[in-house]
Amino acid sequence: MKICFIGHRTIDKNERLILSLRRTVQTLISKGADTFLFGSMSEFDTLSWEVVTELKKDHPFIKRVYVRSSFQHINTSYENYLLQSYEETYYPPKLKNAGKYSYVERNYEMIDNSAYCIFYYNENYCPTTKRNSGTKTAYEYALKKKKNIINLFT
Protein backbone atom coordinates (compact mmCIF):
# COMPACT_ATOMS: atom_id res chain seq x y z
CA MET A 1 0.00 0.00 0.00
CA LYS A 2 1.36 3.40 -1.02
CA ILE A 3 1.10 6.61 1.00
CA CYS A 4 2.01 10.11 -0.16
CA PHE A 5 2.87 13.25 1.77
CA ILE A 6 1.98 16.75 0.57
CA GLY A 7 2.20 19.96 2.55
CA HIS A 8 3.06 23.62 2.61
CA ARG A 9 6.59 24.93 2.23
CA THR A 10 6.55 26.21 5.81
CA ILE A 11 4.81 24.50 8.71
CA ASP A 12 4.38 24.96 12.42
CA LYS A 13 6.70 22.13 13.44
CA ASN A 14 5.82 21.23 17.00
CA GLU A 15 5.69 18.16 19.20
CA ARG A 16 1.95 17.65 18.64
CA LEU A 17 2.43 17.55 14.87
CA ILE A 18 5.41 15.20 15.12
CA LEU A 19 3.53 12.80 17.42
CA SER A 20 0.42 12.92 15.24
CA LEU A 21 2.45 12.22 12.11
CA ARG A 22 4.31 9.34 13.80
CA ARG A 23 1.04 7.77 15.07
CA THR A 24 -0.59 8.16 11.66
CA VAL A 25 2.29 6.50 9.82
CA GLN A 26 2.49 3.69 12.40
CA THR A 27 -1.24 3.04 12.03
CA LEU A 28 -0.96 2.91 8.24
CA ILE A 29 2.01 0.53 8.46
CA SER A 30 -0.11 -1.74 10.63
CA LYS A 31 -2.79 -1.61 7.88
CA GLY A 32 -0.27 -2.67 5.22
CA ALA A 33 1.48 0.51 4.11
CA ASP A 34 4.90 -0.36 2.77
CA THR A 35 5.74 2.40 0.26
CA PHE A 36 5.94 6.11 1.03
CA LEU A 37 6.04 8.69 -1.75
CA PHE A 38 7.81 12.00 -1.23
CA GLY A 39 8.15 15.18 -3.21
CA SER A 40 10.49 17.94 -2.16
CA MET A 41 10.71 21.63 -1.37
CA SER A 42 8.62 21.73 1.79
CA GLU A 43 9.20 21.50 5.50
CA PHE A 44 6.37 18.94 5.65
CA ASP A 45 8.17 16.70 3.14
CA THR A 46 11.31 16.90 5.27
CA LEU A 47 9.47 16.16 8.52
CA SER A 48 7.58 13.26 6.93
CA TRP A 49 10.81 11.79 5.56
CA GLU A 50 12.40 12.05 9.02
CA VAL A 51 9.47 10.25 10.68
CA VAL A 52 9.34 7.48 8.07
CA THR A 53 13.12 7.06 8.25
CA GLU A 54 12.93 6.73 12.03
CA LEU A 55 10.15 4.13 11.74
CA LYS A 56 12.13 2.24 9.09
CA LYS A 57 14.47 1.08 11.88
CA ASP A 58 11.60 -1.03 13.29
CA HIS A 59 10.03 -1.76 9.89
CA PRO A 60 12.95 -2.38 7.49
CA PHE A 61 10.58 -3.53 4.72
CA ILE A 62 9.17 -0.04 4.14
CA LYS A 63 10.36 1.80 1.07
CA ARG A 64 10.92 5.54 0.67
CA VAL A 65 10.43 6.77 -2.89
CA TYR A 66 11.44 10.21 -4.14
CA VAL A 67 9.15 11.29 -6.99
CA ARG A 68 11.08 13.89 -8.97
CA SER A 69 9.31 16.88 -10.51
CA SER A 70 12.41 17.87 -12.48
CA PHE A 71 15.38 16.15 -14.06
CA GLN A 72 13.76 13.54 -16.26
CA HIS A 73 17.17 11.98 -16.83
CA ILE A 74 19.73 11.92 -14.05
CA ASN A 75 23.31 10.75 -14.04
CA THR A 76 24.55 7.89 -11.89
CA SER A 77 26.22 10.23 -9.42
CA TYR A 78 22.98 12.12 -8.65
CA GLU A 79 20.98 8.89 -8.54
CA ASN A 80 23.45 7.39 -6.06
CA TYR A 81 23.18 10.56 -3.98
CA LEU A 82 19.36 10.27 -3.87
CA LEU A 83 19.54 6.56 -3.08
CA GLN A 84 21.42 7.35 0.10
CA SER A 85 18.11 8.72 1.45
CA TYR A 86 15.54 6.79 -0.58
CA GLU A 87 15.17 3.23 -1.79
CA GLU A 88 13.92 4.41 -5.16
CA THR A 89 13.49 7.53 -7.29
CA TYR A 90 11.61 8.12 -10.51
CA TYR A 91 10.38 10.83 -12.83
CA PRO A 92 6.77 10.33 -13.98
CA PRO A 93 6.61 10.25 -17.80
CA LYS A 94 3.55 12.53 -17.89
CA LEU A 95 5.68 15.39 -16.49
CA LYS A 96 7.78 15.59 -19.64
CA ASN A 97 5.98 18.66 -21.05
CA ALA A 98 4.48 20.05 -17.82
CA GLY A 99 6.90 22.99 -17.61
CA LYS A 100 6.62 25.17 -14.52
CA TYR A 101 3.61 23.13 -13.35
CA SER A 102 5.61 19.92 -13.13
CA TYR A 103 5.31 19.90 -9.34
CA VAL A 104 1.50 20.01 -9.66
CA GLU A 105 1.53 17.07 -12.05
CA ARG A 106 4.00 15.26 -9.78
CA ASN A 107 1.60 15.73 -6.85
CA TYR A 108 -1.26 14.38 -8.98
CA GLU A 109 0.87 11.35 -9.81
CA MET A 110 1.55 10.69 -6.13
CA ILE A 111 -2.13 11.11 -5.22
CA ASP A 112 -3.29 8.84 -8.05
CA ASN A 113 -0.93 6.09 -6.90
CA SER A 114 -1.64 6.30 -3.16
CA ALA A 115 -4.20 4.59 -0.96
CA TYR A 116 -3.87 7.41 1.60
CA CYS A 117 -2.72 11.01 1.21
CA ILE A 118 -1.27 12.66 4.29
CA PHE A 119 -1.53 16.42 4.03
CA TYR A 120 -0.47 19.43 6.00
CA TYR A 121 -3.04 21.78 4.49
CA ASN A 122 -4.12 25.12 5.95
CA GLU A 123 -6.91 26.68 3.88
CA ASN A 124 -5.73 30.15 4.96
CA TYR A 125 -2.09 29.58 3.96
CA CYS A 126 -1.94 32.16 1.11
CA PRO A 127 -4.55 34.77 2.00
CA THR A 128 -2.56 37.68 0.48
CA THR A 129 -1.94 36.14 -2.93
CA LYS A 130 -4.40 35.57 -5.73
CA ARG A 131 -2.96 32.21 -6.71
CA ASN A 132 -3.65 28.91 -5.05
CA SER A 133 -0.90 27.15 -3.20
CA GLY A 134 0.33 23.88 -4.69
CA THR A 135 -0.90 22.14 -1.55
CA LYS A 136 -4.40 23.56 -2.01
CA THR A 137 -4.44 22.41 -5.63
CA ALA A 138 -3.31 18.92 -4.59
CA TYR A 139 -5.81 18.77 -1.71
CA GLU A 140 -8.70 19.69 -3.98
CA TYR A 141 -7.55 17.10 -6.52
CA ALA A 142 -7.42 14.40 -3.82
CA LEU A 143 -10.96 15.35 -2.73
CA LYS A 144 -12.16 15.15 -6.34
CA LYS A 145 -10.54 11.71 -6.70
CA LYS A 146 -12.23 10.60 -3.44
CA LYS A 147 -8.91 9.64 -1.87
CA ASN A 148 -8.44 8.78 1.79
CA ILE A 149 -7.15 12.10 3.13
CA ILE A 150 -5.54 12.71 6.49
CA ASN A 151 -4.94 16.41 7.15
CA LEU A 152 -2.52 16.91 10.03
CA PHE A 153 -2.88 20.69 10.06
CA THR A 154 -6.07 20.51 12.14
Supply the CATH number for residue 77's domain: 3.40.50.450
- Number of domains the chain contains: 1
Q: What percentage of the chain reaches a pLDDT higher than 90?
A: 84
Residue in 116, 115, 120, 114 with CA at minimum distance from that of residue 151: 120
pLDDT of residue 125: 76
Q: Which of 118, 154, 113, 115 is closest to 139 using CA atoms? A: 118
Tell me 124's DSSP state: T
Average confidence score pLDDT of the chain = 94
Confidence of residue 100 (pLDDT cuts 50, 70, 90): confident
The rounded distance, in Å, linking the Cα atoms of 21 and 23 is 6
Range from 12-16, 41-45, 93-97 that averages highest in pLDDT: 12-16
Can you give the residue range of the structural domain that contains 83? Answer: 2-151
User: What local confidence, expressed as pLDDT, does residue 20 receive?
Assistant: 98
CA angle 120, 125, 126 (to 5 degrees): 140
Task: DSSP letter for 133, please.
Answer: P
pTM of the predicted model as reported, rounded to 2 decimal places? 0.93
pLDDT at 126: 67
What does the pLDDT read at residue 79?
96
Q: Above 80 in pLDDT, residue 127?
A: no
pLDDT tens digit sequence for 61-87: 999 999 999 999 999 999 999 999 999
The mean per-residue pLDDT over the stretch 132-150 comes to 94
